[in-house]
Amino acid sequence: MNYKTFVTSQSIMMTASSMVFPFYLLLIRNIGDSYAQFGWAYGLFALTAALAHPVVGRLSDRVGDKWLLLLYTWGMAGMMLVVPIIENVGQLYVLQIVMGVLGAVQKTTEKTVFARQNDEAAAGKRVGKYHLWTTIWGAAAVIATGYLIDFLTIGSLFYVASFLYVVSGLVMGYGTISRSRREIIVDEGL
């Protein structure tokens, strides 16, 4: 996987997560009966993420970042298929726990990718560019969704997001395939 593949894939992923995020919040609020349940749903996510971080970190050293990022995108694609059909707060809690683990996978791995690069002098520049593009895509997605939602149901929004996660995974997968040929991460002059 080269740097460009990585940024492209992460940008698509960011587009997907940004477009559903506000509506996902609404959904958790509506499924729960109270702010206490809202708090629990969110707290469970953060708590599982916290516990998963060290495990994910060690795992990334053993199996490689790309496989974990693949797990993340495909996992999220699956989760986005579940979100529209959950009916009660119990299911929501389970969903939040799984997403907590996946969230930890993404957060840890995006950092280990950078940590493994040898070019220390340009590290800051690379991280800056990475955040620039992923955040721009995220912002564009949020704005566009504001308009799109007039034409789509909230359910179909999650399906679109799921599909985008798959695309992100495919891009990443392609990067993984090419990695076996190139073996090293190459910064293509970005």
Residues that bind another protein (CB under 8 A): 32-37, 74, 77-78, 81-82, 84-85, 87, 153, 155, 159, 162-163, 166, 170, 173, 177
In whole angstroms, how close is the CB of 32 to another protein at the nearest point? 7
In whole angstroms, how close is the CB of 6 to another protein at the nearest point? 19
Query: What DSSP assignment string belongs to 127-175?
Result: HHHHHHHHHHHHHHHHHHHHHHTTTS-HHHHHHHHHHHHHHHHHHHHHH
The Cα 139–Cα 150 span in angstroms is 18
In whole angstroms, how close is the CB of 33 to another protein at the nearest point? 3
Q: Which is nearer to another protein, 47 or 82 (CB)?
A: 82
Q: Which is nearer to another protein, 13 or 77 (CB)?
A: 77
**HSE-up (13 A, CA, CB side) for residue 82:** 15
| Alpha-helical regions (H) of 32-153 | 35-63, 65-82, 89-115, 123-148
Q: Which is nearer to another protein, 23 or 163 (CB)?
A: 163
In whole angstroms, how close is the CB of 74 to another protein at the nearest point? 7
Q: Which is nearer to another protein, 82 or 142 (CB)?
A: 82
**Token digits for 15?**
């587009």
DSSP state of 116: T
